[in-house]
Amino acid sequence: MHDTRRTCGSLLAALDVHPRVAMQILRHAQISITMEIYTEVPDKATRAALKRLSDLFSGDGKRRKKKS
């Protein structure tokens, strides 16, 4: 369960969801728990991958060949 919550918290942070909203989604009583334990700020490559994933799920993206 911890890994799932951590993934969710990190994805919410990557999507620039307000920390208080993330806190409510994860059902934490304290913002510090959400931000210090369950959130990891992704690097540039992770953000790019999340954007591609979002495009794919929204129907905007088509399967693209990986750039060499």
pTM above 0.75, yes or no: no
Range of the domain at 39: 2-58
Q: Please count the structural domains in the chain.
A: 1
Evaluate whether residue 43 is within a structural domain: yes
13-46 pLDDT, tens digit per residue, is 888 899 999 999 999 999 998 888 888 777 887 8
In the chain, the amino acid numbered 54 is S
Q: Is residue 8 part of a domain?
A: yes
Residue 10 lies in a domain: yes
pLDDT at 28: 92
Q: Do residues 32 and 5 make contact, with C-beta atoms less than 8 angstroms apart?
A: no
Percent of the chain with pLDDT over 70: 87
Residue 62 pLDDT greater than 70, yes or no: no
**66 is a domain residue:** no
Please indicate, yes or no, if residue 12 is contained in any of the structural domains.
yes
Identify whether 24 is part of a domain: yes
- Give the DSSP letter of residue 17: -
User: Do the domain assignments include residue 68?
Assistant: no
Asked whether residue 63 is domain-assigned, the answer is no
